[in-house]
């Protein structure tokens, strides 16, 4: 009879050990707790909760946020290039110039976000602070390009301005959330990289 209780004791200890080795916060908890203080928490939670890649560490989360932002920026750039500029024949010179400038600004934003993603994928302990500074600078530049795009539409027909503003503001919001996640990663010192 003695072997059975010893077996149960061993099994219980083994199960407790296995439970203790699991990550303390599942990915959804990390996303939820990280999005609470983002610039746009509801959008952050919605976009990152539906993200299909791994989100187990602050680094994963920052990369996911940049990937979401990059996807939105590419979509906006494509929208501006194909839908808006293709129908510019009836537009004023001011509208065509604003659209053309916005297409360029969004291309620059896409480039900055692509550089950021590449940097986040190759973080190293000895250059972590420098790389995080680069990432924050590039995402801030992407936000500036997005804002500059909108600035060019002062004095442009309301319908055109409204369509572009809605598209670009969506990109700016997810980009702002990406910058927040990069700052959180930087503050953590790359914990659990």
Domains of the chain listed by start with CATH number: 25-187 (1.20.140.40)
Chain center to CA of 62: 6
Residue 128 pLDDT exceeds 80: yes
- Residue 174 tokens, joined: 């997810």
Per residue in 78-123, pLDDT tens? Answer: 988 886 666 656 677 788 888 889 999 999 999 999 999 999 999 9
What is the chain's length?
A: 193
pTM of the model: 0.81
What mean pLDDT is predicted for residues 160-180? 92
pLDDT at 161: 80
Do the Cβ atoms of 181 and 65 come closer than 8 Å?
yes
How many CB atoms neighbour CB 94 within 10 A? 15
pLDDT at 98: 86
For 5-39, the pLDDT digits (tens) are: 544 444 444 444 444 444 444 556 889 999 999 99
Average pLDDT value over all residues in the chain: 83
CA-nearest of 54, 85, 60 to 163 is 85
SS (HEC) of the chain: CCHHHHHHHHHHHHHHHHHHHCCCCCHHHHHHHHHCCCCCHHHHHHHHHCCCCCCCCHHHHHHHHHHHHHHHHHHHHHHHHHHHHHHHHHCCHHHHHHHHHHHHHHHHHHHHHHHHHHHHHCCCHHHHHHHHHHHHHHHHHHHHHHHHHHHCCCCCCHHHHHHHHHHHHHHHHHHHHHHHHHHHHHHCCCCCC
Write down the pLDDT at residue 9.
40
Closest C-alpha among 27, 38, 30 to residue 181: 38
Condensed to tens digits (0 to 9), the pLDDT of residues 28-71 reads 688 999 999 999 999 999 999 988 888 889 999 999 999 999 99
Q: Is the pLDDT of residue 72 over 60?
A: yes
């Amino acid at each position: 009879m003695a072997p059975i209780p010893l077996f149960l004791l061993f099994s219980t200890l083994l199960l407790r050990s296995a439970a203790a080795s699991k990550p303390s916060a599942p990915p959804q908890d990390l996303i939820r707790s990280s999005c609470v203080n983002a610039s746009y928490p509801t959008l952050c939670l919605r976009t990152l909760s539906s993200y299909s890649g791994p989100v187990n560490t602050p680094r994963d989360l920052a990369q996911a946020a940049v990937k979401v932002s990059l996807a939105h920026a590419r979509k906006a750039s494509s929208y501006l290039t194909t839908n808006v500029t293709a129908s510019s024949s009836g537009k004023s010179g001011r509208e065509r110039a604003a659209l053309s400038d916005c297409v360029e600004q969004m291309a620059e934003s896409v480039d900055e976000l692509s550089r950021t993603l590449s940097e986040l994928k190759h973080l190293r302990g000895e250059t972590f602070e420098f790389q995080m500074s680069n990432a924050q600078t590039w995402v801030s530049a992407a936000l500036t390009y997005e804002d500059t795009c909108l600035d060019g539409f002062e004095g442009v027909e309301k319908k055109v301005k409204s369509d572009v503003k809605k598209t670009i503001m969506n990109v700016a919001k997810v980009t702002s959330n990406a910058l927040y996640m990069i700052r959180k990663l930087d503050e953590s010192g790359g914990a659990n990289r």
